[in-house]
Structure 1
């Protein structure tokens, strides 16, 4: 039996209880959360959920989401989606980058991988002050899908050359997923 999925994104002012209320709404319709990303950005709470359920349960959630979102103080959107299909022979790799903060880091990394037709599956960034000096730092973590036919040693060498040019400390290694 094919599973049915709904992607929900929501954004609103952060406060305690949002996750409990949103997850109750999903549970009360008979659906379940398959995958999620939740974080606080500035003073706002942001969430992306992959919800699974029977088509009628998803329809009920989809229909009630705008009003429920307003009641929770969230701007919420939903979109039907299909199950992720395994494309070819892809291997997950983990990329970690740390640098003194400056504009364009994410763009340079994304352009590098895009130019090699490598998909970025997951990306998270954070800014922080370096211990002792207070220097503004920037950290990127991403998971990429690398074709098994790609010469990984060459990819790693080209990536490290880019990072040297941009003064980025980086690691690229097989993901431990």
Structure 2
């Protein structure tokens, strides 16, 4: 009887360890790549082709031209060995494209079920400090800015320099949204910022 119990216990441990192993092997592995360099045609083609040739896939990315510089951030998905291949070819790619390229391994982003995604849109006459005052408002309330883009343009007819901001923020589910929205609108009104704070449709 004792021998049977011992065998049964060992089997349970083995199955538990197997479950942990399966979780580890099915979890996605990523490589975050940032690239910066003088803009010219073909950069996106070279970056994406290199990643594809190593057996990896671009799962998410942000690419733009700032001034005369091309900037890109890519989330590359693959197996450990294929991501290693990408890491190994990046120095040569950096030299051939004349870019500054860095990379870092990362894992899957944890799901925040206690956060509600909201979109923030702000437009105002361009002046220094707009991004900082918006970031300060959310930081003071422990609200994370998950995504942000900004742009400048000339207003129609008048040609006035304008500044536009779009953000995605993760608001804790426990937050009283009506109060937060009122505080945000008052904050923006005091700075002559036209603002909108609305839930994102998932």
TM-score, L = length of structure 1: 0.98
Q: 2:51 aligns with which of 26, 36, 39?
A: 26
Following the alignment from structure 1 to structure 2, what is the Cα–Cα distance between the partners of residues 97 and 2? 38
- CA drift at 1:107: 0.3
1:10–1:48 contact (8 Å) kept in structure 2: yes
- CA drift at 1:88: 4.0
Give the gaps of 5 or more residues in structure 1: none
Give the gaps of 5 or more residues in structure 2: 1-25
Alignment of 1:86-105 (within 5 A): 86-105=111-130
Following the alignment from structure 1 to structure 2, what is the Cα–Cα distance between the partners of residues 176 and 101? 29
1:60 corresponds in structure 2 to 85
- CA drift at 1:16: 1.2
**SS of alignment partner, residue 171 of structure 2:** strand
Q: 1:80 aligns with which of 105, 108, 133?
A: 105
1:66–1:75 contact (8 Å) kept in structure 2: no
Following the alignment from structure 1 to structure 2, what is the Cα–Cα distance between the partners of residues 142 and 165? 20
Runs of 4+ in 1 over 4 A off after TM superposition: none
2:12 corresponds in structure 1 to none
2:29 corresponds in structure 1 to 4
- Number of residue equivalences: 177
Does residue 45 in structure 1 map to residue 70 in structure 2? yes
Q: 1:112 aligns with which of 137, 156, 178?
A: 137
CA RMSD of aligned residues (A): 0.8
Indicate the structure whose relative CO is greater, using CA pairs within 8 Å and at least 6 residues apart: 1
Alignment of 1:92-171 (within 5 A): 92-171=117-196
Greater fraction of residues in strand: 1
Greater fraction of residues in helix: 2
